[in-house]
Structure 1
């Protein structure tokens, strides 16, 4: 699966890059809906996400649900403060806590 903002590192890790906003999300989501996870746990790195808005947050929630239907648990790593704030403002921070990877060290 190829999309400039979604790069699969290996069978258990992918990176999202750039802006996850209302302008970029619709095309990216069309690609992600085709994704079939091959592992029981999958990490999505947000380290290279430059900007995220509510559309990006909703897309990530849908991605988690999409994976869950395929018996895969997604963990988000390098979650930007901007996204954590959106989770809190949307009252989904407790729900999302089980999907946020705590950095080691």
Structure 2
């Protein structure tokens, strides 16, 4: 199970971001309209992420960009970082990852 919430410029994901949970998450995220110029996406409570979760986060970055909003990913799980590298998107996402 996974969940997301927004509070004071922070988007927090929790649980699992995988091919089973992403469709429902994206259904709600795709209609989200940012009200801030930037958001921090807190991934510290994500238990597991697969390639579907990675793609959803990339789509979220692009969705925000079309709304003139910049997103920074924080507490990126090790397995997600590995997926970024294996997919050769790590350099493209470098400006969106908070160390």
Whether these two folds match at TM > 0.5 is yes
Q: Is 1:32 aligned with 2:21? A: no
Aligned partner of 1:23 in structure 2 is 20
TM norm structure 2:
0.96
Aligned partner of 2:80 in structure 1 is 83
Count of aligned residue pairs for this structure pair: 98
RMSD: 0.8
**Please, which runs of 5 or more residues in structure 1 have no aligned partner?**
none
Higher helix proportion (structure 1 or 2): 2
Query: How far off its partner does 1:34 sit?
Result: 1.1
Query: How far off its partner does 1:99 sit?
Result: 0.4
TM norm structure 1:
0.91
Query: How far off its partner does 1:23 sit?
Result: 0.3
Q: Which stretches of structure 1, 4 residues or more, deviate above 4 A after TM superposition?
A: none
Aligned partner of 2:5 in structure 1 is 7
Distance in 1, Cα, partners of 2:96 & 2:6: 18
Query: How far off its partner does 1:16 sit?
Result: 0.3
Give per-residue Cα distances to partners, 1:42-99, cap 9 Å, x unaligned: 1110000000000000000000000000000000000001000000000000011110
**Please, which runs of 5 or more residues in structure 2 have no aligned partner?**
none
Distance in 2, Cα, partners of 1:20 & 1:40: 25
